[in-house]
Amino acid sequence: MFVQAEGINQNSRAEKDRCVRKNDMNYVVLYEILIAQTNETIAQFQDTWNIPEYGPMIPMDNGRCTPLKGDDVFPPECLQFNGDKGQPNIGPFIGGGLKDDDIRAPYPSTYWFSFANNCPLKIWGEKNDDNNACRASTRKGLCDIGQAPDGFNCTFAYDVLGWVPIDDVVGITALKDDSGNAYKNFTTWCQASTEHIEFAGDDRTGTMDKGLDFWKDPLNKTRNSDRAAKVVSLYQDILAGDFKSGLIPASDLASFRDLPDPMALSTKNPPCYKTVAKCNEAPGCKRSGFSQICMPCKAEESCKVDASFKFPKLEKAKTTLSNEELSSGSKLGGKNGATGGIGKNSTAPAASDAASMFASTLTATMAATAVLALAM
C-alpha cells in the first residue's frame, strides 16, 4: 500500500528523479516481532483501543515522532512515551491503526504499526550525543539483541525474516531489452527509454494513466489484495528455489526464514480474552493473519472465553491533565500517515543501554508484519 500510494507515481517526482522511486524504495522487508505493552499502556487505552492490544499509531519521520506543527509541537500520545510536559508516563507503547482507505491505494485490512524507542523527540542524528544523554534519559522500547520484551525493560524485539525486491514483484526483472537481456532493476529499465514507466497518473486520486500491467486498476480493492498476496507468494517461491532473484545475494538468501503459519502463531500467543478484557465476553475474539490482531468472532464461531478469568484492574499513569489534553483524536490511531520501513536498506541504529522504569506487563504477542513506523 505504501509503495503504491507514495513510491511509484513518477508524476509526483522531479524529472531528475524519474528513474528512482521515492525514498529509493527497493524492497519490502518482512519482520517477526515480539511485543509486550506496559501495564500503563493497557490501563490507558484498553477502553478505547483503536486496535486491540495497541495504543494509537504515532506517525514518525527520520527517527522521531512527526510534529503536529513547527519543530517542537508533538502529539500528546508521543509525549506519553516518557511523561513529557505533564503527560502520563505510559512508556514506549507499540501503536496500531487501520490504514485501509488511502484514496490512492485502498488495501483492505491493512494495518500500520509504530514502534517507539528511547529519545523519540529527536531525529536520528541528534540521538547519539557525546554521552548518549538523550537516550539514557528516556524509556526504552527496542530490546537489546537476545533479550525478549517484558514491558519492564523494553517493549519490542524484532528479527528480519527476509525481503522481497519490488522489481521482482512488479515484473521489471522479467522484461528484456532489444538484445534479449533481462533488465537488472527499475532504474536501468527506466533509463533505457522514456516510454518505460512503472506508474504515472493523478497524484491526488491515484488513478493511472500509463504504467506496468502489475499496477493496472489501482483503485480496485480486490486487485490490491492480489498485489499484496503476490509479495507473500513470491517470497515463498524464493525460499523454495522456485524463483531465482538476481537482486538477492546468495549469502543473504541463506539467512532467510519461512513465514510463520498464522494458526501456529495463534497457538503460541496468549488467547485474546487474557489480553483484551472485552474479548472475554461471548462470542469472544480470535487472532487473525500474520499480524495476529484480536478480531471479534462471529456468533457461530466457537471462540474461547473463560468466565473464571478476571482481568486485572490496572492503574493509569498519573497526570493532572484533562482527557481532552491526552489525545490528538481518533484519527491519529488509524488514518494519518507514517513513513519508514520500506527502503534501500533495513539497518537500524543500535539500542542504548538506558535504565528502564517499566512496570510489569500482561501482553506478549508475536507477529510477522512489515514495520512502517520506527523511532529508533
Counted residue by residue, the chain has a size of 376
Q: Give me the pLDDT at residue 366, please.
A: 52
- Lowest average pLDDT, out of 153-157, 207-211, 212-216, 348-352, goes to 348-352
Q: How far is CA 289 from CA 85, 265, 294, in A?
A: 38, 9, 10
- Edge to edge, what strands does the sheet with 94-98 contain? 55-56, 94-98, 111-116, 374-375
- Tell me the C-alpha distance between 110 and 95, whole Å: 14
- Band of residue 261 on the pLDDT scale cut at 50, 70, 90: very high
Count of alpha carbons within 13 angstroms of residue 147, beta-carbon side: 18
Range with the poorest average pLDDT among 29-43, 295-309, 333-347: 333-347
Say how many Å lie between the first and final Cα of the chain, rounded.
23
Cell, residue 116: 517507539
pLDDT in the model for residue 347: 31
Q: Are strands 94-98 and 55-56 parallel, antiparallel or unpaired?
A: parallel
Q: Is the pLDDT of residue 375 over 50?
A: no
Q: What is the mean pLDDT of residues 318-326?
A: 92
pLDDT, average across residues 65-88: 93
* Cα torsion 231, 296, 157, 115: sign: positive
Domain boundaries, the chain: 2-164+257-261+311-375
How far is 345 from 24, CA to CA, in rounded Å?
9
Indicate the pTM of the whole model: 0.84
Q: Three-state DSSP class for 208? A: strand
User: Strands 374-375, 111-116: parallel, antiparallel or unpaired by DSSP?
Assistant: parallel
The SS3 of residue 88 is coil
Residues 296-307: tens digit of each pLDDT: 999 999 899 999
**DSSP codes of every residue in 309-355:** --PPP-PPPP--S-GGGG-S-GGGGTTS----SSSS--PPPPPP---
Which one has a higher pLDDT value, 335 or 150?
A: 150
